[in-house]
Amino acid sequence: MNTVHHHVTVLLDEAVDALAIRGDGIYVDGTFGRGGHSRAVLARLGAAGRLIAFDRDPAAIEAGQALGDPRLTLVHAPFSDLDETLGRLGVARVDGVLLDLGVSSPQLDDAARGMSFRFDAPLDMRMDTSRGHTAAEWLAEASVGQITEVIRDYGEERFAHAIAKALAAARTGGAVATTGQLAAIVEKAVRTREPGQHPATRTFQALRIFINQELEELSRVLPACVDRLGAGGRLVVISFHSLEDRIVKRFMRDASRPPVLPRRLPVRAADLPAPRLKLVGRALRPGEAEVAANPRARSAVMRVAERTGAAP
């Protein structure tokens, strides 16, 4: 019997409102998940509207097929394939792109996915279970230096080197193959605990981000979003981690400013190329009521920008 894992969509109304949906517009949901945002977008689209939704997770694509909405095109691919996919579909410009980053609740709550230390399960961590190396496979081959770098850079873990050495030492007794093994090794290697947080939290987060190349995927898709947005189109991004939000914030900030030219270059401000984005409002976080109802929403940050009429 299959266990049903539910996902509570974060900032649902706020994100869809930010897209400023036109009934006949074309929109992209870069992270379908279980379709919370997509359903809300479809509810505001007219018969001529269109939604193209991406997800790496085969389970998410299967869930989306149950909608049976002819206006919805599901794409089993990472959102970094946005530009190539829109070209293949014959879509030159879109009116909005929504990216709801990070891992979904069904992925965390399904023990078989190996993303949580709450269950003892095979150490997988892949969002797309149909391709790529699992976390266990990578840990079996990676050097102490490589493991240290991943845990330090993606988990911001100050005991990264000690954890990496412990993981390498543990391999002499066999592969680190389960979430329970990983959590136990990390717990022994971490000398001090953060209040209210399991010692392995940062390590699990770091390995998941690395295995799925989440930050690299984000850095690739943001320029493609701007390239594909029509004038007035909105880019809406919800992040759950400081590293993600930093990438989004800097990208939107830089794209909303004129290019930086060498000092003393004889160019008037009026002659500078116009920015391609315009920031819309300030960063938005969930309210107290939403966080109380869904604690996983507490770290969410939503940023919005609008495509100007500036040339590519």
Q: Is residue 123 part of a domain?
A: no
Same domain, 146 and 98: no
- Residue linked to tokens 């209210």: 196
Range of the domain at 173: 129-211
- The answer to whether 95 is a known ligand-binding residue is no
Alpha carbon 60 to its chain centroid, in Å, reads: 14
Task: For residue 304, name the pLDDT band (cuts at 50, 70, 90).
Answer: very high
pLDDT at site 197: 86
Q: How far apart are CA 143 and CA 140, in angstroms?
A: 9
- Residue where a domain stops, chosen among 161, 188, 211: 211
If you write DSSP's letter for every residue of 103-145 in order, what string do you get? --HHHHH-GGG---TTS--B----SSTTSS--HHHHHHH--HH
Q: What CATH number does residue 98 fall under?
A: 3.40.50.150
Check if the beta carbon of residue 19 is closer than 8 Å to that of residue 41: yes
Residue 4 has pLDDT above 60, yes or no: no
- Residue where a domain stops, chosen among 211, 234, 265: 211
**Dihedral of alpha carbons 104, 239, 198, 185, sign:** positive
Mean pLDDT of the chain: 90
Same domain, 236 and 281: yes
Q: Is residue 7 part of a domain?
A: no
Burial class (CB in 10 A: 0-12, 13-18, 19+), 79: buried
Q: Number of folded domains in the chain? A: 2
pLDDT digits (tens, 9 = 90+) for 142-153: 999 999 999 999
Share of the chain above pLDDT 70, in %: 91
Same domain, 177 and 55: no
Which are the contacts of 259, defined by CB distance < 8 A and separation ≥ 6?
272, 273
pLDDT at site 151: 97
Q: Is residue 4 part of a domain?
A: no
Query: Mean pLDDT throughout 277-297?
Result: 92
- The answer to whether 153 is a known ligand-binding residue is no
Q: What CATH number does residue 193 fall under?
A: 1.10.150.170
pTM: 0.90
pLDDT at site 118: 82
pLDDT at site 268: 60
Check if the beta carbon of residue 147 is closer than 8 Å to that of residue 182: no
**Count of Cβ atoms closer than 10 Å to residue 167 Cβ:** 23
Q: Is residue 3 part of a domain?
A: no
**H-helix or E-strand containing 177?**
none
Nearest CA-CA partner of 126 in 199, 181, 200, 207: 207
pLDDT digits (tens, 9 = 90+) for 158-198: 999 999 999 999 998 888 999 999 999 999 999 777 787 88
Packing angle, helices 144-155 and 160-170, rounded to 10: 140
Nearest-10 Cα torsion for 214, 217, 222, 223: 150
pLDDT at site 272: 66
Amino acid (1-letter code) at residue 168 = A
pLDDT digits (tens, 9 = 90+) for 116-130: 888 889 999 999 989
Same domain, 194 and 251: no
Q: Is residue 67 part of a domain?
A: yes
- The answer to whether 79 is a known ligand-binding residue is yes
Check if the beta carbon of residue 208 is closer than 8 Å to that of residue 148: no
Residue 132 has pLDDT above 50, yes or no: yes
pLDDT at site 7: 66
Residue 2 has pLDDT above 60, yes or no: no
Residue 50 has pLDDT above 80, yes or no: yes
- Residue where a domain stops, chosen among 211, 227, 256: 211
pLDDT at site 1: 34
